[in-house]
Amino acid sequence: MDAERIIVEFPSRPENLALARVIATAFATRLDFTVAETEEISVAVSEAVSNAIIHGYREGPGIVRMELAVVDGVLEILVIDHGCGIPDVDRARQPAYTTSEDRMGLGFVFMESFMDELEVDSAPGKGTPIVMRKRPEREGGERAATGQSLPDR
C-alpha cells in the first residue's frame, strides 16, 4: 500500500471551518488535481465540517477529526464527529432535507456531487463519520481506479 496520511482534530467552532478547508486543499496538492477539482474538494470538506459543527454538536462544541490520506493515487478524506448522530441517513441525504429552518439541506448533495465517492455511517448518540474519495481527472475525463480505503472507525 502506498499511503500518505495526516490527522487533525479541532473544536467544532465555526471559525475552524476555514482551517479545515485550507488543510484539505493543501493536502490535495499531493495529487495532480485541477483548480476546479481543488475547489470541489474545498466545498465538500466545508459541507462535511459544517454539518459536524452545526448538527453534530447541538449542546455545545465538541471535537471534529479530519483524516486525510492519499492511497494508491486516490484522495480520501474522513470527517468524524462524536456528536448526536443522524437518525435516518438515507433521509438526511435527500436534497433540501434539513433539521434547521435556516439551512438549505444541500450539504450531502454537494459532497456527493463534488466527490467520486461518499460514505455516511451514523447512528443516534454515536456521531457521524463521513468518508469522501476523489481521484484526479485523467486525459479524456477518466478517473484513476480506487485503491484501499481508510480503516473503519
Helix H or strand E encompassing 44:
helix 35-51
CA quadruple 131, 59, 84, 102: dihedral sign: negative
Positions annotated as catalytic residues are 47, 51, 103
CB 111 within 8 Å of CB 48: yes
SS3 category, 39: helix
CA 75 – CA 3 distance, rounded (Å): 10
SS3 category, 65: strand
